[in-house]
Structures are given as C-alpha cells and as structure tokens.
Amino acid sequence: MFTSLLAATAPATFHWSPKVALVMIACNVLAYAIAKANIAQPNEGFEIPNSKFFGGMSHASVVAANCLGHVLGIGSIVGLASRGLL
C-alpha cells in the first residue's frame, strides 16, 4: 500500500541528454560570474593549479562557485524538464 502511494507521487523522470549538459554548464558559468563579482577576496587562500582558467580565484572560491552552479543547474534542469522543454 505504502509503496504504491510513493510510486503514485513520484515525479516523471527525464534522461540525460546534451541539452541537460548545456544547461548545467550555463548555470556554472553564471555562478562563476556571480562569485567573481560578489566574493570580497576571491584570491585569498590556497591557489589552484592554472588558476588563470578560473579567473584567478582560490580553491575555496572555485568550490563555492561550483556549489552554487550545481544548485542553480539542478533547479533549472528539474524546472525545464517539468515543463517539457528538456
């Protein structure tokens, strides 16, 4: 009984496609722009190798930007998939 109730309330799932990857990449790029503009000292802390590819940001800033990008990305992907656009 409980299992059938959970199955009835489960949202429709979607499959990975290049569109999904492009949405995630776009959200991560947006997150890097937001992080670069809003972090007070983005180059404080441990330096990552080839930091010029990441805007000169430190390890903590890169991790924070990636976390924000993935939160934005999964929200965008789920929202677009529920609308039937992905």
Q: Measured between alpha carbons, how far apart are the two ends of the chain, in Å?
A: 32
What are 19-52's pLDDT values in tens digits?
899 999 999 999 988 988 887 777 676 677 766 6
Average per-residue pLDDT for the chain:
79
Percent of the chain surpassing pLDDT 70: 72
What are 48-73's pLDDT values in tens digits?
776 666 667 777 888 888 999 999 99
User: What are the sequence ranges of the domains in the chain?
Assistant: 13-82
Percent of the chain surpassing pLDDT 90: 22
* Range list of H helices, the chain: 2-9, 18-38, 59-82
